[in-house]
Amino acid sequence: MKPTMVLGDFLVAYLRKIGVTHLFGIPGDLVLRLFLRFGARRGLRVVTLSHEPGVGFAADGYARATGQIGVVCVTYGAGGHNMVNPVAGSFSERVPILVLSGGPADEERKLGTLIHHQAKEIESQLRIYQELTCAARLLDDVRTAAETVHEVVQRVWREQRPGYLEVHRDMVERRIAVPRELLEWDGALHFARSDEHNVAEAVRDTAARYNAARRPIVTVGIETFRYNLTRDVERLAETMGAPVATTVLSKGAFPEDHPQFLGVNIGAISPPGVLRRVDRADLVLNLGAMQTDMDLGSRPPQVTRDRSIWAVGGRVHVSFHTYTDVHIRDFVRGLRKVRLRRHRERVRYHDNLPRAAHEPADPLRVVALLHEVNRFLHDHPRHIVVTESGDMLFAGLDVRVGRAAGYLAQGFYASMGFGVPGALGAQLGDGRRALVLCGDGAFQMTGPEIAQAPRYGLRPIVVVINNGGWQIFRPVVRRTELLDVPAWPYAQLARAWGGQGFRVETAGALRAALDEAARSTSFVLIEACVPQDDLSPVSRKYIQASARHGRWVRA
C-alpha cells in the first residue's frame, strides 16, 4: 500500500493484506475495470462460474470452509440482483462475505436517461443490500474511500455477516488517499471485545449453576464455529464430561467421533436417544446456537429457560437474566479458566437410521444410501460433506462426519442451489475433496456449475438422488405431477462435462460407484435412483410433525 493509490489497486492491496486469495465473480461493462484489476498479475485468483447464484454460493462455501472472508465481484443490476439470494443466505447463517459491485459513472447518471441494468433508481441496489448486509456503502469520495472499505470489512469480520461495497466505474482509476493507520496496519482483523466485568460475572454465574447441576448437557451452535472456537469448545467439553449435541445448522462444529458426542438435536424430532437425554437434562449450556424453527423441529424449546444458559449474539442469558457485551469467545475462554465439576457420563451417539438391512442387489432406498455414504466416509474420512436443500438436508443429519470431515449445509436458510457451487468453493479453499448429496430438483438449479470443476482442478463427488422431482412435498400433495422435474441424463452430462458419470439403481452398485469415485482423478457424478415416495427418516418425522401442527396440509 502507498499513501495515494488508484482505488482499484487499493482494493486489491487491501484484500491481499487481510489474507484474501480468491475472488469469485462474473464481469459486466459496469464493473469491468474493477474486475480486471482483481485479475491483474499480483492480483487475486479469479474464479468465474456460469451464473451469479453459483458464484455467491461458491464464495459462501469458501468462507464456511476456510473461516476467511469470501469475496464476490458482480456487475451492477443484473449481476447484483442475481446475487441477492446467496447473500441473504450468508446473512441468515452468519457467513462473512464481501460483495463488490460496479455501477454507472457520474456522467452517465447526469444524462438523465435510464441506464441499462437499472431497476427502480440508481440507488435501489444499494438499498437492497443495506437490508441484506451488516454494512453497505457506496465508494464515491476519494478522501474517505479507504477508511470506508476498512470500516465495512471490519464489520463483516466482527459480525460474521456479509458486507457490500459499490464502486461506480468512473471511481476505479481515481486516486485516493490511504491514511497512515492503514499503511502501518498489519492486516489483522479482530473480533468484538467484551465487557470484562460482565464476562467474569456471566462465567461465575454459569459455573455455579453448572456445578450444581446433576445432568447437564452442552449444545454447540454455529457461532462457536464461525468464531473459530472449535478446539476451545472441545477442551471445555472434555473438562465438563457432559454429553454434547449440535444443532441442524451447526452439525460438524463438534467432531462426531468424539466419545461425548450425543448427536444432532432437532428438538421434538430428534433421534429418540437424544430426545430422552435432553428431556432429562436439568441444565442445558447452549454455546452459540441461534434459536431457529429448524433447530427446534418446528416446536417450542424442549428445555425451559430456567434450566438453560444461552450464549449467543454477544449476550449470555442465564435463566431469566441477561449479561450484555459478552462475546462467545470470551465466554468460552472464561469458562475454560474456572473450576467446573467433572461429570463422567458414558455417552452414546444416536442417529435416526434403522440398522442396515439391505442386500447389494436390493433396489436402492434412501436409508441404504445413507448407510453406504457412512461406510464410504468411514473408509475415506478426508472429505467435506455438503448437503443440499430437499430431503438430503434432513437425510444428511444422519451422515456421520468424524474429526477429519467437515460438514456444510444451509441448515436454516435452506436455499436450493447451494450444494454444488458451495462444494466447489469449499474445496477450492480447504483442499479436501467434497462429497455432495443433492436432489435432482436442486441439481437442476445450479448443478451444471460442476462443468467448471475441471478448469479449477476440482474433483468433487456429487451424488444426485433421482426421485423424479421435488418429492419432499409428495406426502402432502395430491396432484403429484406438479412436483415433476424432467429426466436429465445426469451421468451422460457428467461425462460430456469432463467428469465420470454413473447411474446406479441398487445399493451394491452405489457402493461400487463410490469406491470407483475414490480412485477417480476427475469429478464424479453418481445418479442414485430411488423410489419417488421414499424419504429419509428425518424428513418423514418433520413432515408428520408439521402436518400434526397444521402447517403442511394435504392439498
Q: Which residues are at the interface with ligand TPP (CB under 6 A)?
A: 389-391, 414-417, 439-442, 467, 470-472
User: Mapping DSSP to helix (H, G, I), strand (E, B) and coil, where does residue 341 land?
Assistant: coil
Find the shortest distance in angstroms from Cβ 440 to Mg ion.
4
Q: Which three cell numbers stand for residue 163?
A: 458486507
- Residue 160 partner contact from Mg ion, ligand TPP, none using kind-dependent CB cut-offs of 5 to 8 Å: none
- Residue 417 partner contact from Mg ion, ligand TPP, none using kind-dependent CB cut-offs of 5 to 8 Å: ligand TPP
Find the shortest distance in angstroms from Cβ 272 to Mg ion.
28
The residue range among 84-92, 111-119, 441-449, 450-458 that interacts with Mg ion, by the rule CB under 5 A, is 441-449
For residues 496 and 489, the answer to whether their CB atoms sit within 8 Å is no
Find the shortest distance in angstroms from Cβ 54 to ligand TPP.
13
Residues from 455 through 474 that contact Mg ion (CB under 5 A): 467, 471
Residue of the chain from 166, 440, 527, 534 that contacts Mg ion (CB under 5 A): 440
- Residue 66 partner contact from ligand TPP, Mg ion, none using kind-dependent CB cut-offs of 5 to 8 Å: none
Residue of the chain from 441, 447, 448, 460 that contacts Mg ion (CB under 5 A): 441
389 binds Mg ion (CB under 5 A): no
Closer of 118 and 532 to ligand TPP (Cβ): 532
Closer of 274 and 385 to ligand TPP (Cβ): 385
Closer of 332 and 393 to Mg ion (Cβ): 393
450-477 CB burial, b ≥16 within 10 A, e <16: bbbbeebebbbbbbbbbbbbbbbebbeb
The alpha carbons of the chain give a radius of gyration, in whole angstroms, of 24
Closer of 206 and 539 to ligand TPP (Cβ): 539
For residues 281 and 345, the answer to whether their CB atoms sit within 8 Å is no
Find the shortest distance in angstroms from Cβ 196 to ligand TPP.
43
The residue range among 22-30, 275-283, 303-311, 434-442 that interacts with Mg ion, by the rule CB under 5 A, is 434-442
In angstroms, the CA 24 to CA 452 distance is 13
Report the residue closest to Mg ion, judged by CB: 439
Distances, alpha carbon 280 to alpha carbons 235, 239, 243, 244, in Å: 24, 21, 12, 14
447 binds Mg ion (CB under 5 A): no
Closer of 66 and 85 to ligand TPP (Cβ): 85
Q: Strands, DSSP E only, in 125-260?
A: 135-138, 163-166, 175-177, 216-220, 244-246
**Side chain identity at residue 8, one-letter code:** G
Number of C-beta neighbours around residue 215 at 10 A:
13
In angstroms, the CA 377 to CA 400 distance is 8
- Residue 415 partner contact from Mg ion, ligand TPP, none using kind-dependent CB cut-offs of 5 to 8 Å: ligand TPP
How many residues bind to Mg ion according to rule CB under 5 A? 5
Closer of 183 and 482 to ligand TPP (Cβ): 482
Report the residue closest to ligand TPP, judged by CB: 439
Number of C-beta neighbours around residue 165 at 10 A:
24
Closer of 60 and 440 to ligand TPP (Cβ): 440
3 state SS for 80-142: HHHCHHHHHHHHHCCCCEEEEECCCCHHHHHCCCCCCCCCCCCCHHHHHHHHHCCEEEECCCC
For residues 286 and 164, the answer to whether their CB atoms sit within 8 Å is no
Applying CB under 5 A, which residues contact Mg ion? 439-441, 467, 471
